[in-house]
Copies of this chain bind each other. A is one copy, B any other.
Amino acid sequence: MPSYKAPLRDMRFVLEQVADLERLRALPGCEEVTTELVDPIMEEAAKLCEEVLLPLNRSGDEEGCHYENGVVRTPAGFRDAYRMLREGGWPALHCDPEYGGQGLPRTVSLLFEEMMCSANLSFGMYPGLSHGAYTALHAFGSEALKALYLPRLVSGEWTGTMCLTEPHCGTDLGLIRTKAVPEGDGSYRITGSKIFISAGEHDLAENIVHLVLAKLPDAPPGVKGISLFLVPKFLPDGQGQPGARNGVSCASIEHKMGIKASATCAMNFDEATGWLVGAPHKGLRAMFAMMNEERLAVGIQGLGLAEISYQNAAAYAKDRLQGRALGGTRYPEKPADPIIVHPDVRRMLLTMRASIEGCRALGLLTALEQDVATRSTDPATRQEAEDYVALLTPVVKALFTDLGSEAANLGMQVLGGHGYIREWGMEQYVRDARIAQIYEGTNGIQALDLVGRKLPAHAGRYLRRFFHPVLDYIESRGEDEAMAEFILPLSKAFGRLQQCTAEVARRGFADPFEAGAAATDYLRLFGLTALGHVWARMAEASLRGLEGGDADFHKAKLATARFFFARILPQTGALSAAILAGGETLRAMEDAAF
């Protein structure tokens, strides 16, 4: 049975040393966000995740969800755990105080999100989806809808969903067929079928609030004709309590590779009553508004699973006796050395660590910019932060989830045959992590978003929000001898990124196929360089920290940093070679020859 301890020490390090807490505290509503405020919250969060959610992770995977006649039951224990989540006020953590939220910045709540993903990703998806619905409704709902629905979503009494995908279309939402017919009283009749709806039906909450993409009768074709509707499972009565059952039902649940305790539902809307959220035909805009937040959340799923996989792989490697160290016995008092002595086992664990700690820092930086973008009173500052978030969002989503899957696989590999059997729990992380590379826009779509939308936007303005600070950082440390071992490889990777960026932009402008052909490799190149930047900053902080009271922590941080720069970052060389090779070899094969 896997164990888990929330990595509070590292979270505090990132919060204090990488995220700019001064900048955060300058934001309205964040004035009191200090580590003194955050630490006890995180300790309580850790307790919930370690003691309540973790023990339900494997049992939830074994049992899965049950479907019968439109009713979905979650696995044993989930209802109690959800009640505790609600009673602790956790769904409200970073919601608007106007609707009952606690108003904490995302920079803080993201740490809780990571813990929940480590302890029990399937469970975490129920409040996670609610949060997505909350965000879209908060940004685009009418005052009446907000007043009625937001307090219930914030308290967790009700949960939410996002209903986008249909059997014949996922990525290309312009093809959706679900229809919305105005009733004349401000409401609409929604009819159609949706699939892959996480938390579409379950037994955790009194009501479920579906946000549904549908087309109005006068909708223009394609993505410009999509509107967003709120469709509750039970229509609220005069007191705002769940009343009559609405025309929405769950037709079946999917049998999946992983996240088995998360109900993935096929939903039928049969003249269901709904209300428009945002302007007619502008539904996609509302969806995109919440996507930056949701895609960061999905990235964090990769991180969370990598973290728990690492913890258990490292524990196993220190415990499992097998063979002797290559250079001669290291633990003569034991019948064999623990496998942690073997360089290849250390390579696997360090690869996981370098990903995890790098992603945690980059994720928190991105959340900080989200907070600035939503809270700053200065429009120019908001714009800059929005640009940064727009640019980094596809990188965070795809990079973190790819690295998360790789890490979960490495963690499993450390355990050998024991990793492959269900008993040890490591294989579940591999299965659970895999979905994060697919949903909320596949990682290929993230890469296209980066090269196709974000790179060319506003003549490269987004790009400058990242390039300039990195360049400034490299230049400002150019004379620092202690930092040279980090700055030199960072500078090399950054040079490759600059060259490839120019080249992808140039070729992509002439031929969009070329941009697409480079996209996935380019996103990884970008992501590794961004990790290089945060790793250099963390190394710098730990060089200072070596003289303080927590030298062991900082020594380990520096060892991981050195591993990252020596053994991981050189991958940027191969990536840039593949990018610069261009798309011709992708084009040459006839479609029919595949």
Contact = CB atoms under 8 A, between A and B. Distances in A.
Interface of A: 165, 168-172, 175, 195-196, 254-258, 264, 314, 317-318, 321-323, 325-327, 335-336, 338, 340-350, 353, 405, 409, 412-413, 416-417, 419-423, 427, 430-431, 434-435, 437-439, 442-444, 447-448, 452, 511-513, 515-517, 519-520, 552, 555-556, 559-560, 562-563, 566-568, 570-575, 577-578, 581-594
22 contacts: A165-B417, A175-B335, A175-B336, A195-B417, A255-B421, A256-B427, A257-B422, A258-B420, A326-B515, A345-B444, A349-B594, A353-B594, A412-B434, A413-B438, A420-B434, A420-B435, A420-B438, A556-B589, A562-B584, A570-B574, A573-B574, A574-B574
Contacts of A347: 517, 520, 586
Contacts of A423: 254-255
Given A340-B591, A342-B516, A422-B255, A322 B566 contact: no
Given A421-B256, A563-B586, A171 B323 contact: yes
Contacts of A582: 566
A555 B593 contact: yes
Instruction: List 6 tightest A-B contacts by C-beta distance, closest first.
Output: A570-B577, A574-B574, A326-B512, A343-B516, A257-B427, A343-B517
B175 A590 contact: no
A268 B574 CA distance: 50
Given A559-B588, A567-B578, A578-B566, A594 B327 contact: no
A564 B153 CA distance: 51
A344 B420 contact: no
Contact of A519 (B254, B258, B343): B343
A573 B577 contact: yes
A511 B587 contact: no
Given A175-B321, A567-B578, A573-B577, 19 more contacts: A169-B322, A170-B416, A170-B417, A171-B323, A171-B416, A195-B417, A256-B427, A257-B427, A318-B594, A327-B512, A343-B583, A344-B448, A345-B444, A346-B586, A350-B586, A413-B444, A417-B438, A555-B590, A570-B578
B322 A175 contact: yes
A170 to B, nearest CB: 6
A314 B594 contact: yes
A254 B421 contact: yes
- Classify the interface of chain A: helix, strand, loop or mixed: helix
A585 B419 CA distance: 26
Given A322-B169, A336-B172, A420-B434, A562 B591 contact: no
The oligomer's copy count stands at 2
B350 A585 contact: yes
Given A165-B417, A416-B442, A578-B566, A520 B587 contact: no
A318 B257 contact: no
Nearest to A338: B591
A496 to B, nearest CB: 11
Nearest to A341: B591
A516 to B, nearest CB: 4
A417 B585 contact: no
Contacts of A409: 405, 434
A344 B520 contact: yes
A566 B518 CA distance: 12
Given A512-B327, A586-B346, A257 B563 contact: no
Nearest to A577: B570
A196 B583 CA distance: 46
Given A326-B512, A585-B559, A590-B556, A430 B169 contact: no
B588 A562 contact: yes
A336 B438 CA distance: 21
Nearest to A313: B594
A322 B167 CA distance: 12
A296 to B, nearest CB: 20
Contact of A344 (B419, B447, B585, B589): B447
Contacts of A323: 171-172
A452 B344 CA distance: 13
Given A343-B519, A444-B413, A327 B422 contact: no
A324 to B, nearest CB: 8
A328 to B, nearest CB: 9
A428 to B, nearest CB: 8
Contacts of A560: 589
Contacts of A256: 420-422, 427
Nearest to A582: B566
A73 to B, nearest CB: 20
A456 to B, nearest CB: 13
A357 to B, nearest CB: 13
Nearest to A419: B438
Contacts of A520: 344, 347
A346 B590 CA distance: 10
A559 B589 contact: yes
A411 B391 CA distance: 28
A219 to B, nearest CB: 16
Contact of A439 (B335, B344, B417): B417
A294 to B, nearest CB: 15
Contacts of A574: 570-575
A171 B337 CA distance: 12
Contacts of A165: 417
A591 B592 CA distance: 54
